Amino acid sequence: MNTIYKIVALVGVSVLTTSCFNKERPNYQFMPNMYESVAYETYSEVPTTVFENGKEGQLPAEGSIPRGYEPEAYPDTPEGLELAKVNQKSPLAESDKNLEKGKELYTIYCSVCHGAKGDGKGNLVKKEKFLGVPDYKDRELTEGGIYHVITYGLNSMGSHSNQLSQHERWLVTDYVLKLKSE
Amino acid sequence: MSSHYEAPIRKPLVIGEKTYHDITVDVARPVEGRANKLWWRVFAIALIAFLWGVGSMAYTVGTGIGTWGLNKTVGWAWDITNFVWWVGIGHAGTLISAVLLLFRQKWRMAINRSAEAMTIFSVVQAGLFPIIHMGRPWLGYWVLPLPNQFGSLWVNFNSPLLWDVFAISTYLSVSLVFWWTGLLPDFAMLRDRAITPFTKRVYSILSFGWSGRAKDWQRFEEVSLVLAGLATPLVLSVHTIVSFDFATSVIPGWHTTILPPYFVAGAIFSGFAMVTTLLIIMRKVSNLEAYITIQHIELMNIIVMITGSIVGVAYITELWVAWYSGVEYEQYAFLNRATGPYWWSYWLMMTCNVISPQVMWFKKIRTNIMASFIISLIVNVGMWFERFVIIVTSLHRDYLPSSWTMFQPTFVDAGIYIGTIGFFFVLFLLYSRSFPVIAQAEVKTILKSSGEYYKKERDSKENHQSLNH
């Protein structure tokens, strides 16, 4: 009998001590000494007394150029696109070209609309989320033009310069040309 | 009695015509009586000191270690000084109850109970310092190798600070058990004499139903002997481990192999001095002069003298080795102790620890209660400074002259130290009014062999017999 009381008491205590955790909220913390960052962390909220919009990520000064980056040679205009189509050439040396990498990037960022073969039959098109994605083979494509479109977007397509670095865009460009040639 | 042989040279350990009942009454009197005004006054002072210490500790933990006088060079000062000092004081208790038991020293029986109480209470004080000197004491439980959710992250067993944890906690628990088993027959005595239901109840619980049967006594003796056998290596290892905090370092002045035995000798030295201080007062205020005799004080003084001499030899050894080593850092460390900015603490330590126990060679002084009392206090001051000198003078000037600095304690450092002294006396004063301060069950075993009255009886009988021949 005594043992049963002890077991019941033990279970009761365990239930009591563990039942205060609410799944909807962060759990209780014991002495959170260095849990919260003193420095502003990326994407964190900042008091509006520090930055007006309350965001940690502030825009750089216009016209500033970070090390290792070259400003785009052609502007985001229809004329810019035309000029790029004719004049812009890939800066990648033969040894820098990497179709494998280009395929990986294409699979991640492009194939959902353009299709794995570049035939305009991506998953979203097949499910008729939207229509009007052209087949690469139907278009006049030059490497400068592809790069310009990835960088700035065209019609329904948005800019991918946020996702892909300049180097990566050239890798994708190469892969798109390969798809078109097949 | 006729078969009993006791050398006539031995002096009596129980003075007067005491019977078994007299011992019971004398031991129970402070517990059964009411505290007088003096007790309350001293208790109030101790309590205030304790509360002041609690405030200082709370301030330290709440505000930070920066409230102390430590700096980047001297990271250990009063905290560890006091820690080692209190641990050292505690060692005499175990020495008296364990080592002297192994050596069959009958005179330990009148003093072992209070000495063990002193051990427990001073180890409690010592145990405070490793916690409050932590920067984040609330994570103190991380020193224990417990399975956990950090991938079962464990402690590194290479640090003497971790060994300290095991040493001190084992020491406290073993001492507590040893003390308590010895208390069982005495609590039973108080239980059987209790008049009020409340005291009856309290001492019934404390005495664990001791009924004093032959089998119980037989096992009691065996347990005492085994615990004494365990406590003796423990008492040596605990202060050895404490000394490893310094001896295993690379600091000139710390890195010496002599530290373990020298610390243990110092611990016995300061511990016995503290026992002397306490018992000289206790025999007076609790009317226990018949049990804690001048012979007890003399024997404790002799131990103080011996261990004081060992400590003195250790000091000379350190100085010799520093000179002999040819290591200029080591040589400078000792030059700095003797002539640096803390020269006064070094010479105070030397005077208190090396010179003062040497006066015990004079029988007149070591059998003088007042002189013993004063010297016992001096020894404890000296031993505090020994730890202070070892810790601070080695740290404040070591390898890089650009890191040389000074240490100055703040009132918080002092407040915590005063607080632990207050806490010690709060515990000791409460103990002396609620516990049997003399192991009456043990004293009763030596009454007939070492009691003054029985010795006289025996002497006169022997004289009578020799006259007849």
CATH number, residue B341: 1.20.1630.10
Tell me, yes or no, if B148 comes closer than 8 A to chain A by beta carbon: no
Q: What is the dihedral of CA A162, A164, A167, A168, to 10 degrees?
A: -170
Cα distances (angstroms) measured from residue B240 to each of B88, B237, B363: 11, 5, 33
Orientation angle between helical segments B328-339 and B343-350, nearest 10 degrees? 80
Is-contact B50 B466, C-beta < 8 A?
no
ipTM of predicted assembly, 2 dp: 0.72
**Residue numbers in A near B139 (CB within 8 A):** 31
**pLDDT at position B4 over 80:** no
> What secondary structure does DSSP assign to B79-133, as a single string?
HHHHHHHHHHHHHHHHIIIIIHHHTT-GGGGGTHHHHHHHHHHHHHHHHHHHHHT
Furthest-apart CA atoms within chain B: distance in Å: 87
| Overall CATH class of domain A78-181 | mainly alpha
Residue at B11 is within a domain: no
Interface size, chain A vs chain B, as Cβ–Cβ contacts under 8 Å: 5
Residue at B465 is within a domain: no
Look at the pTM and tell me if it is higher than 0.90: no
**Residue numbers in A near B138 (CB within 8 A):** 30-31
Rounded to a whole number of angstroms, the distance from the CA of B411 to the nearest CA of chain A is 27
Rounded to a whole number of angstroms, the distance from the CA of A35 to the nearest CA of chain B is 15
Mean pLDDT of the residues in chain B: 92
Residue B253: partners with Cβ closer than 8 Å, 6 or more residues away: B330, B333, B334, B337, B390, B393, B394, B398
How far is it, in rounded angstroms, from Cα A180 to Cα B120? 88
Residue B167, domain extent: 20-145+152-455
Rounded to a whole number of angstroms, the distance from the CA of A161 to the nearest CA of chain B is 41
Interface of chain A against chain B, CB under 8 Å? 30-31, 33
Report which residue type is found at A14: S
Question: How many CB atoms neighbour CB B256 within 10 A?
Answer: 20
Residue at B13 is within a domain: no
Phi and psi (nearest 5°) for B429?
-70, -40
**pLDDT tens digit at each of 182 positions of chain A:** 688 888 888 888 888 777 777 888 888 889 999 999 999 999 999 998 998 899 999 999 998 999 988 888 888 888 888 888 888 888 888 888 888 898 999 999 999 999 888 888 888 888 988 888 888 888 888 888 889 999 998 888 899 999 999 999 999 998 998 888 88
Q: Where are the domains of chain A?
A: 2-58, 78-181
Rounded to a whole number of angstroms, the distance from the CA of B62 to the nearest CA of chain A is 13
Residue at B12 is within a domain: no
Return the SS3 of A157. strand
Residue that the structure tokens 């017999």 belong to: B465
Return the SS3 of A63. coil
Phi and psi (nearest 5°) for A154?
-155, 130
Is-contact B49 B452, C-beta < 8 A?
no
Cα distances (angstroms) measured from residue A182 to each of A136, A175, A179: 10, 11, 5
**Residue numbers in B near A33 (CB within 8 A):** 136
Q: How many domains does chain B have?
A: 1
Angle, vertex CA B379, rays to CA B375 and CA B382, nearest 5: 135
**Residue numbers in B near A31 (CB within 8 A):** 136, 138-139
What whole-number percentage of chain B has pLDDT above 90? 80
Among chain A residues, CA nearest to B135 = A33
pLDDT tens by residue, B276-312: 999 999 999 988 888 999 999 999 999 999 999 999 9
